[in-house]
Structure formats: C-alpha cells, structure tokens
Amino acid sequence: MIRNFFIYLTVLVVGVAFFVVMVLFAIPALQNSTVALVGLSSNSSSSGGGEADKASIEQEVDKLQKELDAYTPTNPYIIVNTSDNHFYLYKGKQLLRDGVCSTGKNEKLVSADRKYTHMFYTPFGVLKILRKSPNPVWKKPDWAYIEDGLPIPGPNDPSRWETGTLGAYKLELGDGYMIHGTIYKRRMGMSVTHGCIRLLDDDLEVVYKTMEIGSKVYIY
Amino acid sequence: MKENSVEDFDSLFVKEKNKNKGRKYIILIIILSVLGLTSIYAYLSISAVRDQMKLAIERAANSPAVNSSLFPQLKQKAWLESRLKMASLDSVGLSIDLEQHVIQLELKGVVVMSSKIRDCSVSGFFKKIDGNVYFETFGTPLTIKEFKSSIAKNPFKIVEAPKDTIAAQLAADAAAKKEAEERKNQNVFWTVKLDRGFDLDIQGIDSIAEAQKKYEFGKGFKSDRKLNNITNSFQHILKFSKPTYIPEILISIPENEAKAILRALPQKSLVTIRI
C-alpha cells in the first residue's frame, strides 16, 4: 500500500516537473523560434521595380539624413549625463572635452515645521546659456540655511553673500540653475548638488571660454 | 495447520497480477494526463503566436505591397523618418538599431548617448515579418506604455531639515556614502511594454564574464512572468483558451548606460526600432 503510494507520488512529481519544464522553457523556446510560424507569411512584397525607384528613394534618404543632421548645433554645446555625472563638450560632432561633474541630488527638503519645502534636481531637456560671468558671488537662498540647520536671516543680510563657493565662473541657464565651479571637490562625480551642474576648475575654464550666450545644454 | 491448496496459491498470484495491472493503469493515466495537458498547452501557445502574426498581417493588409528589391532602402527611409518624428518633440527618445548594434538616446535630434549593444535576442516573430508588415510594426515610432525595473526609475528622497550644523554635516556625509555604496551593488534590468503588443527588455552587463550571472538575474526578473504563466496555463487549459503571447527584444548593454537610459526616458516616450 505504502509502496504503491510512493510509486504514484513519484510518477506524479515527475509528471508535474515535466509539465513545468515544458511551460517554462520548451514551449516558450518553441514560441520564440520561427518553427511556430511555419506556413505563415506576410506575402506582402512584390518583386520588380527599376533602378529609377531605387535612385529616388536614395535621394529621399539623403535628404532625410541632412534634415536630421541639421538638428545638431554647429556651434559649441554641452551634453550632461546626470546618471553618470559626466559632461561632454562638443562642437558639431567633434568632442572637445569631457569630464566628471556633479548634478542634482533628487531630494525634497522639508523644514521641521513642514512649512517650507524645496526640490533639488537638475531639469532634463534642452536649456540655453543665458548669461555668463567670472568671479561669481552667490546669494544664499533660504534653503541653504534650512539645509544647514541654521536660522534664516533677512533677505538682504550680509551673511547671504558668499564669494568663492561657485568657483571662478558661472554660466546661467535660467530658473536659478547654473553651470559653475565648486569648493567641494571630494564629491565630484556624485549627485549632490541643489540642481546646478558643478565642474572642476580646469573643465569650467574650458567650458566658460568655449560656450557662447545661446549655446545649448542637453541634459538627461 | 492447513496447507495451501494449488487453487489458493494460483488465486494469490492472480491477485498480485491484478494489483500490478491496476498500478500500471494508474501510472499510464497519470503519464497520459500530463502528456495530454502539455500537448494542449503547447497547441494553444503556438496558436497564440500564429494569431499574433495573423493579426499583424491583417493590420498591414490595407497598406501597399512593398517591393522586396527596395526593402533595404525603404527600411533606411522609415528609420530616418521615425527619428525625425522623435526630433520634433521636446522629450528624450530612444532609437535602437539592431542592424548596427547601437542603442541611442536622442534629444531634439541630437544623439546625447550612444551605446554599443553587447548582446541581443529577438523573438522568432520578428524574424518572420517582412514587407509591409515590417513597416506597419516599425515604420513609425512606438510609444512606451509601462516601465518595470530592478532599480528606482526616479529615485527621489524626502529629507527632513537637520536641527543644527553638526546634524547637517553628518547627514550630507551619510548621503554621499550611501550613494557610493548603491552604485557598487546595482543589478540593472528593466522592461517596457510597447504600444504595438511587444516588450523591450534592457539588461545591464559590465563584462562578458559577468554576463552569464546577470543573464540569470534577468531571467529571474522575467521568471515572475513565467511563474504567472504556470498558474495561467492551467486556467487556459481548463478553459481551452489561448494564452497571451508577447514577443520580446532583449538587449544587453553596459550597466551604467542601461541605468542612464532608464532614468532619462520619460513615462510615455517614443522608441524607434530597426531590425
């Protein structure tokens, strides 16, 4: 009786295992092979057609390729990869310089009393250089004090003005976002900023001197 | 003590024989049932693939026949037209060229990231489509309907303001350390559902040696679907209905690039594919 039970159980387990292997591996493999589609054909192509057709399509292809290439700026532009914290400075299709950068930390800061919130992220898309200037002075916004656990001073308090924090140059992108330098070099290559793009001193100098007002900044 | 007669001995033998026969029947029934269920499921699964192809052919029935001798040129034209359509939008799009083994992120027509595809596996369904069915499927950009990923797509943290400068410094150091740690131990695998009834799977692999391990991870991720398949398969067998077939394109690229693409793509972004 017990012997029979084990025999049936073994056969059943082997059977279920066989079924599972078929469902998980064999049948999907069959589904993904072209064997499953034998005898089915789209039958939608015709033969013939002259060289003239081919030449006209090739002409259209050339035109489309030129149209697509025209999207790439001929003046300098910069591409920022926020995932790897890396930047690429281009002119046309020529890479002029690339290097490490720091971008937004993707954080929402909430004050202890929940009255104040601020989002820190680098916006994706195409931005333009609106202004650029050397020796920038940073006017610390309220969130800088909240983040440091300090009381917020008045709007024109002298403690708000800081020199050196933004490095030797700044290139403004609008809405308070900038490309600038940093004193926190240890954290380069990390997502630690409040949304701005930080570069190392040498890279910043090249970017500042190469990028023009109106140059595009591609951020992803 | 009574001795067993010849008849008694024979009857015992017949009983044992009947018992063996019964056991054999039960085993045979089990084997036949398993084979039967498997065959039914295989039949239904293959029918689902064929239905999907018939549907694709039907959809393309109204479009003009494609001249097979001009197929490569027409493919190139469709590829460029699709990318131009993506360029006319403000958001990031994805272009996948399986002919050149390249995957690219494009923003306003500019290639912002380009990655060499290290490995790729495509369902047989795609290998069988040609002519106007190809252009009906890949002739215009596809739209992403849904993302599923092994890492957070938009990793946004909510942080409460520190009480003082010491707490602020400690929090900043801890956050930087955490970010560095996270970068080291990430398996990147993500999948998207596209609006023309198939899935695109992207897998991050850092080296060919590591690839096999990561493949297992990728398959582990996909096994969610497969486990669902087992339970669903019983339901389909009982109802004698066809299971859903979703053709797939699986692409392996370097891990940091797989992550960058995942995070860059908006929820309903466009994808252009050339096979």
* Number of domains chain B contains: 1
Q: Which residues in chain B have Cβ-Cβ distances shorter than 8 Å to A98?
A: none
Minimum CA–CA partner of B258 in chain A = A83
Of B34, B129, B266, the CB nearest to A19: B34
Flag whether B264 is in a domain.
yes
Flag whether B9 is in a domain.
no
Minimum CA–CA partner of A30 in chain B = B46
Catalogue all structural domains in chain A, each as residue range(s) with its CATH number.
76-219 (2.40.440.10)
The predicted structure's pLDDT at residue B221? 61
Flag whether residue A191 sits within 8 Å of chain B, measured between CB atoms: yes
* Domain coverage including residue B258: 52-65+115-270
Substitution target in A9, A18, A32, A216 with the highest count of B β-carbons within 10 Å is A32
Flag whether B156 is in a domain.
yes
ipTM above 0.90, yes or no: no
Of A11, A18, A33, the CB nearest to B124: A33
From chain A residues 5-44, the ones with a CB under 8 A of any chain B CB are 7-8, 11-12, 15-16, 18-20, 22-24, 26-28, 30-37, 40-44
Average pLDDT over residues B131-145: 93
Of A30, A44, A82, the CB nearest to B46: A30
Flag whether B108 is in a domain.
no
Flag whether B20 is in a domain.
no
Higher pLDDT, residue B207 or B40? B40
Flag the least confident range among A118-132, A158-172, B168-182: B168-182
Are B125 and A40 within 8 A, CB to CB? no
Average pLDDT over residues B168-178: 79
Please check the confidence at residue B90 and state whether its pLDDT lies above 50: yes
Average pLDDT over residues B247-264: 93
Substitution target in B35, B38, B166, B223 with the highest count of A β-carbons within 10 Å is B38
Are A105 and B175 within 8 A, CB to CB? yes
The predicted structure's pLDDT at residue B1? 47
Please tell me the distance from the alpha carbon of residue B56 to that of residue B196, in angstroms, as a whole number.
Answer: 9
Are A126 and B108 within 8 A, CB to CB? yes
Of B128, B158, B172, the CB nearest to A34: B128
Please check the confidence at residue A145 and state whether its pLDDT lies above 60: yes
Chains A–B, number of C-beta pairs less than 8 Å apart:
244
Flag whether B249 is in a domain.
yes
Flag whether B88 is in a domain.
no
Residue indicated by tokens 């029947």: B25
Of A37, A44, A79, the CB nearest to B128: A37
